[in-house]
Structure 1
């Protein structure tokens, strides 16, 4: 009798929770914003066939998202459509890669026109798309950063940047930040400081890391440290013109310079805001002082703008600009081509000349189609005022998400700038213990069920990475927040059963 009563109570509780969830789904706050785009009917491989091919013919290292992986069919601006026509708000942009919108008509048209004219030739010949793009892109960088080298990816760009720094300085040691990610090539794995990416073989010689200046999870930090409309909940006793956290993390970098590397170094590489590392923002002034220390040791400063570049942070076109620094080398990828595979390095004439010591060649760098696409992306960012949109919608979204931090004990931190946002999940605010991945995944799956796709990251994989196409609207932001709130509520209600 007792067993039957328990079962009845569980069934009643489940029905009650589902009813609450359904009411939330039907509320105005959780309705998906309208979209007048109608996708084509999917007529390709059956889902089961795709799953079988994935299992038999693709590397097992390629792990798809979600318990039932999405079979995506079509994209339009901030929207993705699966093989059944289901629409999703894309808050991850193909891992921060779709900058101006899926299949943006101007970018698509530029690619089509170039495909009809010339698919491929290498940089051993003159061709207009390469030279037009070189002039257009470098005009958007300050100072002496005027010399361009095109690659195929961000990993390749960072790899080459490290190589050039070693050639130019004659030094070998490169320093990065712990929790940083710069790629998975042999060189960049040395400064990619997340153990999950380390294969356990000899790679990345001469690379060292210093403490990550994370003002939320790190040792030091307070409520005035970040260049963001949302600060940590830690108290901060610093005066307006000083930052104790910045000073402490700089001391850690000094210690690394004094103990772990040679007297003269080749380079320091850092993202203006960490991407894969969980949207970590440094104390204001940290990067500026770090650059000064590195240059005192003969090193070059490399800004990894693979995720922060092209207006995503809102206040500036490049992430490094908000730190009041000018790097010696800037690396780019992802949003540079709105999903078209390309990357780039921009540096000075002096540093670029170091690569002439030996023959260096890239077959696809500067491909005519890539250059046409990249040029169209630059135009669209300006014509559609996407940097301003990142600033307006991004800051609005940050402030709305911060209300969830106030409401839920498991929302530990909300941070970021523009449309580069992280929501770090914890078991409780007092201990700040990371929410286990298996539990975070429950919320993440709920979001997908409600029509929102977002990423995951951070050292403990407990941070939601929200970095959508830069064309999203305030209406989309409201929808995203309501979905995340509903997903967290369902998770907490289910956990309380």
Structure 2
């Protein structure tokens, strides 16, 4: 039996010189009452006693009582460079004093500056940007573009994926908890998810990660699991896609986000893209969570799969919390939208574009992609050690850079451990983590990319305290 490292029972938050403003808004009871009566009743929180957040600073959040928390979820993988980053605050203030909003039918400078900057980060012929407001909207537009361009209708996505909750993207999404009993857009099919941890095939040599599954694996050279999952994909082209027409598009996240940071076998996405194009379709990469340096090795997650997609969708980290998203494609595919008039009232407005430009500046100036790789790699290795210490509770650790998932299980099986107490215990100790996966048993770690090694060490001590307190094994 592996011995547990000694740790303090009261881990201390790393130092922070920032002092939050005093809160003088509605009381906690008033907030909960308003939420119950005046807000969408489907809104939920992962905590028994919901957290009332007042202010943010870089990787830190402060509640209405002034208590500080290390934010390892980043507003659902959205705060890329840090809460209320001073450079973004200053840039937005300056822009608001010059031009707040005009329609993009005008040649306001910022949208043009930003389009040039953003597309310069893209490989190949991905040079045309459409700015929108959310990831769901971006994926919705990508569906339209693919069908118009190819003149085909059928679309494929992976089981366990999440691509949004508009009427169209709810059809793309293949996780039952996010689907209403409502007719989704037709022509969308969900293929087998190539999950090397819980899927039919896969093992300890299959992932592009410093941490692998503990399953046995027969791979030598090319991934054997990849070939088997590709065979399953081929069956969809054989039995589902009309031979007379072909495919419109295949959607894939580089690493599944809401689905629990699921990684695919090495080579799967590359070979899938080849199959898609052979059958008349476009390869669409959803970079809503994996873009902007989060995976560490590359600026875009798809680069780790050695492909250049036909369409790329992005949101979340693109605006560091500001409602900004984009679709980037080739000039040839972009022409398909000329079939009718197309515009977006708020997409790429002066403030949104200013935020987007500033995010790109900060990632480069503060070397946040490099930080994601260095800090994320160490984090993954420490979490792997934790899995060895708690083999009956931690079934899998996976991810790249600061896109990390820790799957909690029962008694060393793959059966999900459905215990929300862990999030409450961590919150009480000052750590905020996300919850994901089809059953909510995956701890999602997607913090602002400015976190430090001190933050990681504090988190690991806190996790050990929480696991001990909950009597995990």
Smaller-chain TM-score range?
A: over 0.9
Aligned to 1:420, which of 403, 406, 426?
403
Equivalent residue number for residue 368 of structure 2:
386
Q: Which residue of 2 aligns with 1:78?
A: 59
Deviation at 1:148, TM superposition (A): 0.4
The answer as to whether partners of 1:412 and 1:428 remain within 8 angstroms in 2 is no
Q: Which residue of structure 2 aligns with residue 283 of structure 1?
A: 265
Return the match for 2:459 from 475, 480, 483: 480
Match of 1:205 among 165, 171, 186: 186
How far apart are residue 261 of structure 1 and its match? Answer: 2.2
Residue number among 228, 236, 246 corresponding to 1:248 in the alignment: 228
**How far off is 1:287 after superposition?**
0.2
CA–CA separation in structure 1 for the residues paired with 2:178 and 2:219: 37
Check if 1:176 corresponds to 2:160.
no
The match for 1:450 among 414, 429, 432 is 429
Q: CA deviation at 1:24?
A: 3.6
Structure 2 residue corresponding to 1:52, chosen from 30, 33, 47: 33
Q: Does 1:332 align with 2:332?
A: no
- Between the aligned partners of 1:407 and 1:262, the Cα distance in structure 2 is 51
User: What TM-score does the superposition give when structure 2 sets the normalisation length?
Assistant: 0.97
Deviations 1:114-173 (A, max 9, x none): 111111011100011100000000000001000000000000000000110000000000
Q: Point out the more displaced range, 384-393 or 115-124.
A: 115-124
Partner residue of 2:18 out of 19, 23, 37: 37
Which stretch of the first structure deviates more once superposed, 40-49 or 322-331?
A: 40-49
- Separation in 2 of the partners of 1:491 and 1:157? 41
SS of the equivalent of 1:229 reads: coil
Aligned equivalents of 1:228 and 1:432: distance in 2? 20
- Shift of residue 65 of structure 1? 3.2
| Aligned partners of 1:25 and 1:31 also within 8 Å | no
By how many angstroms is 1:481 displaced? 1.3
Normalising by structure 1, report the TM-score: 0.92
How far 1:351 sits from its partner (Å)?
0.5
Mapping for residues 120-199 of structure 1, pairs under 5 Å: 120-199=101-180
**Segments ≥4 residues shifted beyond 6 Å:** none
Question: How many angstroms apart in 1 are the aligned matches of 2:202 and 2:209?
Answer: 14
Using the alignment, how far apart are the partners of 1:378 and 1:470 within structure 2? Answer: 13
**SS, match of residue 456 in structure 1:** strand
2:290–2:301 contact (8 Å) kept in structure 1? yes
**Deviation of residue 64 (structure 1)?**
2.6
**8 Å contact 1:158–1:183 — kept in the other structure?**
yes
- Alignment partner of 1:274 is 2:253: no
Superposed displacement of residue 38, structure 1: 0.4
Give secondary structure in 1 for the equivalent of 2:9: helix
Q: Distance in 1 between matches of 2:237 and 2:259?
A: 23
The answer for unaligned runs of 5 or more in structure 1 is 1-22
- CA RMSD, Structure 1 to Structure 2 (Å): 1.0
Whether the 8 Å CA contact 2:211–2:397 is kept in 1: the answer is yes
2:393 aligned partner: 410
- After the TM superposition, which of the residue ranges 60-69 and 93-102 deviates more from structure 2? 60-69
Is the CA contact 1:304–1:332 (under 8 Å) kept in the aligned structure 2?
yes
Match of 2:440 in 1: 461
1:313-365 CA-partner distances (Å, limit 9, x unpaired): 00000000000000000000000000000100000000000001011121001
The counterpart of 1:234, out of the listed 192, 215, 218, is 215
Aligned to 1:15: none
Q: Which residue of 2 aligns with 1:365?
A: 347
- Hey, which of these two has a bigger chunk of helix by percent? 1
**Corresponding residue pairs, total:** 464
Instruction: Give the Å deviation of 1:258.
Output: 1.2
